Each structure stands twice: as structure tokens, then as C-alpha cells.
Amino acid sequence: QSALTQPASVSGSPGQSITISCTGTSSDVGSYNLVSWYQQHPGKAPKLMIYEGSKRPSGVSNRFSGSKSGNTASLTISGLQAEDEADYYCCSYAGSRDVVFGGGTKLTVL
């Protein structure tokens, strides 16, 4: 159960696009289309932003998109806004009733 690897921090200016990577292995990200992404503002509970790799829950802005290539999943935020500044976590099913999170990425909007 090794954590998925995310960059510790990313930054971008309002209106720009950023991408957060999430690298796993062939036992988790690479084997299942069950990667999800969560946004967490300070002092708040996490919020589901993307599930099953690229699906958006109702109410989530279409500025958020997800993708996967091999053992790496990615979250892209386009048209960056101040309220997007938060921590972002990826998560994947890892087989045998096991789930693993990434270490988290702090997004700073400059």
C-alpha cells in the first residue's frame, strides 16, 4: 500500500491552466479506471472533483478534467480562479479491497 506520488506544490496565474500528476503502479492506477480527485480547502472536508478517471460529479465546474496514461493520472484545471487555491488529492483503487491516496498537492493561484 504505497502512496501515489503527487508533486508537493504547483502554481499558476488566474486564467491559466495547470496540471497535477499522480503516479502509481501497474497494481493500482495502471490496472483500474478508478482514479478520483479531491479538493480540500483549509479546515474543510474534501470534495470529490473527478471520479472514474475523467467523470465530473454534478455541480463540479467543467474547468476540471481528468485523464490517465499508463500508471499516471492527471488533473487539469483550466481558466484558473482564486477559489481554486486548495490542496488536491488523487486516489485509486488498488485491488483486493485496498484503496490508496496520493500525498497531496498544494495549488497556489498567484
Partner 1 sequence: EVQLVESGGGLVQPGRSLRLSCAASGFTFDDYAMHWVRQAPGKGLEWVSGISWNSGSIGYADSVKGRFTISRDNAKNSLYLQMNSLRAEDTALYYCAKDNGDLPADAFDIWGQGTMVTVSS
Q: Is 64 in the site for partner 1 (CB under 8 A)?
A: no
Q: Is 51 in the site for partner 1 (CB under 8 A)?
A: yes
Q: Which three cell numbers stand for residue 65?
A: 478534467
Among residues 7, 23, 48, 54, which is the contact residue for partner 1, using CB under 8 A? 48
Instruction: Print the binding letters for residues 70-109 with partner 1: x by CB under 8 A, - otherwise.
Output: -----------------x-x-x-x--xxxxxxxxx-----
Rounded to 5°, the CA angle 21-25-28 comes to 95
CB of 104 to partner 1, least distance (A): 4
Q: For the purposes of burial, counting CB atoms within 10 Å of the CB of 15, is it exposed (0-12), middle (13-18) or buried (19 or more)?
A: exposed
Residue 83 in 3-state DSSP? helix
